[in-house]
Amino acid sequence: MVTSKQSTTYEVDIQDVEYLRHGDNPLLARLFRPRGSGPFPIMVELHGGAWVRGDRLIGNAANEALARNGVIVAALDFRVPPIASYPASFADIHYGIRWCKANAEAWNGIPDRVGAMGTSSGAHQAMLLGMRPNDARYAALPYSNGARQADGTLGCVIMVSPVIDPLGRYNYAKGLRDDVTPPAGMAERVVPMHDLYWETEENMIEAAPARALAAGERMELPPTLCLARSYEEAHPRPDLDEFIMQYRKAGGPIDVHIFEGEGERILENISTPVAQDAIERMTAFIRRHLG
């Protein structure tokens, strides 16, 4: 168990706020704000769901737990299929990061120092945005409220059980790999969502962080924390190992903690010892890198 230096427990205000609008369709952020003068670090939280399912409410319990530890959390909704495919969600999230920076002072947050975190496909999105903060496709939506301008650079990234290589997981689900074997029925569950979001295998390759590093792409390398189980049937372990190797080879700082065994998702039941340990590790990491 890792114990955070932050011992104060805060009361938390929770509210849904529109952070972006596409035509008549608002996108909401659920804000978890510790009561107090702060300044508090800010983390943008991205839900999982194979890039297609899920919403900002999935991580409520873990996000509130982090806020009680003194972290502002903004859990974002973003466009998913059938409304829009890659890279639309990245553009929404990039906008959300800049929105958080612009509003940090009003929230008693730390200005210009925002991190991102996510589970499964949300972890992939957080990581790739951290590595490509200046990608024109991801930064395509101008910030338009007239407030101070901010960029999409991330101060840190936390990945929980990431699906870090879209093509690797696609081929895994289809049973096309020799190094890992998927559980029964995975193709029926997973492949259609990959097809909806990514549309082509070329997009899956282009958006795989380890493949980009191996190909020599110059990328930002924010401090990263990775939490995973030793076996996760939805996430082929060799892909995570490859990413960790490539990230460290490129000089990226990454802390990795693997919880032994399999079972419920790490943050699914916040009362379990594994989840409590994960929250403390996340809190300590955020404090170390965002203040």
- How many Å apart are CA 278 and CA 259, to the nearest integer? 9
For residue 2, being part of any structural domain is answered with no
Q: Is residue 1 part of a domain?
A: no
Q: What percent of the chain has pLDDT over 90?
A: 90
pLDDT reported for residue 2: 45
Q: How many residues does the chain have?
A: 291
Domain containing 202 — which CATH number? 3.40.50.1820
The reply to whether 27 falls in a domain is yes
Residue 115 inside a domain? The answer is yes
More confident residue, 224 or 291: 224
* 70 vs 109: CA distance, rounded Å: 10
pLDDT score, position 264: 65
CA atoms within 13 Å, Cβ hemisphere of 102: 18
The confidence band for 150, taking pLDDT boundaries of 50, 70 and 90, is confident
Does residue 184 fall inside a structural domain? Answer: yes
The one-letter amino acid code at 90 reads F
Whole-angstrom Cα distance, residue 4 to residue 278?
11
Look at residue 249 and tell me if it is in a domain: yes
Residue scoring higher pLDDT (264 or 98): 98
Q: How many domains does the chain have?
A: 1
Amino acid occupying residue 33: R
Q: Is residue 5 part of a domain?
A: no
Q: Does the pLDDT at position 198 exceed 90?
A: yes
Domain that holds residue 276: 12-290
> What Rg, from alpha-carbon coordinates, does the chain have?
18
φ/ψ (deg, to 5) at 167: -70, -40
How much is the pTM?
0.95
- Reported as a single tens digit per residue, the pLDDT across 72-115 is 999 999 999 999 999 999 999 999 999 999 999 999 999 888 99
pLDDT one-digit tens code per residue, 218-248 = 999 999 999 999 999 999 999 999 999 999 9
Residue 4, in any domain of the structure: no
